[in-house]
Chains A and B, each alone.
Chain A
Amino acid sequence: MECRGEAVVEKERIHLRPVTLCDAAPATLHLLPCEVLVNGPAPVGRFFTPAVRQGPDGLQVSFRGRSLRGEEAAVPPGFTGYVMVTEDRGERLKGKQDFSGSSDSDGEGDEQELVEAPESLEREFDRFIGATGSFSSFTLWGLETAPGPDAKVHGALAWPSLAEAIHAQVPED
Chain B
Amino acid sequence: MATRVDCGDGARARQHVFLVPEYLKDASKKTKSGLMFVKLVNPCSGEGAIYLFNMCLHQLFEIKVFKEKHHSWFINQSVQSGGLLHFATPMDPLFLLLHYLILANKQGKFQPLDQVVVDDAFPNCVLLLKLPELEKVLHHVTEEKEIGNKKYYKYSKEKTLKWLEKKVKQTVAALKTSNVTVSARVQSSAFFSGNQVLNDKEEDYIRYAHGLISDYIPKELSDDLSKYLKLPEPSAPLPNPPSKNREAHSSLNKIMSPLQMDNTTSVPANSPLGCILNNWDAFKADSLNKSRLTFLCNMAWPQYKLESREIWPE
- Which A residues lie at the B interface, using CB under 8 A? 1, 4, 8-9, 12-23, 27-45, 48, 75-76, 78-88, 106, 109-110, 113-114, 116-122, 125, 129-133, 149, 152-156, 158-171
Contacts and interface: CB of A to CB of B under 8 A. Distances in A.
Nearest to A166: B171
Given A18-B31, A42-B77, A170 B89 contact: no
Interface string B76-112: 1111111111010111100100000000000000000
B300 to A, nearest CB: 30
B231 interface: no
Contacts of A120: 14
22 contacts: A1-B123, A9-B124, A13-B124, A16-B36, A18-B34, A22-B29, A30-B73, A30-B74, A32-B73, A32-B83, A33-B70, A35-B72, A38-B79, A40-B12, A87-B4, A88-B7, A153-B68, A156-B66, A159-B252, A162-B252, A166-B170, A168-B92
A45 B84 CA distance: 22
Contact of B255 (A4, A116, A121, A155): A155
Contacts of B123: 1, 4, 8-9, 12
A13 B171 CA distance: 31
Contacts of B69: 35
Contacts of A44: 74, 76-79
Contacts, number: 284
A130 B37 CA distance: 12
Contact of B75 (A17, A19, A113, A133): A133
A85 B1 contact: no
B273 interface: no
B32 A18 contact: yes
Q: A-B pairs with the 4 shortest C-beta distances?
A: A18-B28, A165-B174, A170-B166, A163-B89
Contacts of A21: 20, 24-25, 28
Contacts of A13: 36-38, 124
Contacts of A82: 17-20
A169 B205 CA distance: 20
Contacts of B21: 78-80
Given A32-B71, A38-B79, A163 B90 contact: yes
A41 B179 contact: no
Contacts of B216: 166
A167 B92 contact: yes
Contacts of A39: 10, 12, 14-15, 78-81
Nearest to B85: A156
Contacts of B52: 16
Main SS class of interface, B:
mixed
A132 B8 contact: yes
Contacts of B177: 161
B71 A35 contact: yes
Given A31-B83, A121-B50, A16 B37 contact: yes
A19 B167 CA distance: 35
A42 B72 CA distance: 13
B75 A29 contact: yes
B36 A14 contact: yes
A129 B213 CA distance: 30
A9 B53 CA distance: 14
A84 B251 contact: no
Nearest to A14: B37
B180 interface: yes
| Most interface-central of B72, B120, B122 (chain A CB within 10 A) | B72
A121 B16 CA distance: 8
B207 interface: no
B124 A36 contact: no
A161 B174 contact: yes
B14 A170 contact: no
B140 interface: yes
| Most interface-central of B64, B170, B177 (chain A CB within 10 A) | B170
A80 B22 contact: yes
Interface in B232-286: 251-252, 255-256, 259-262
Contacts of B122: 12
A118 B33 contact: no
Given A41-B78, A44-B77, A170-B140, A160 B89 contact: yes
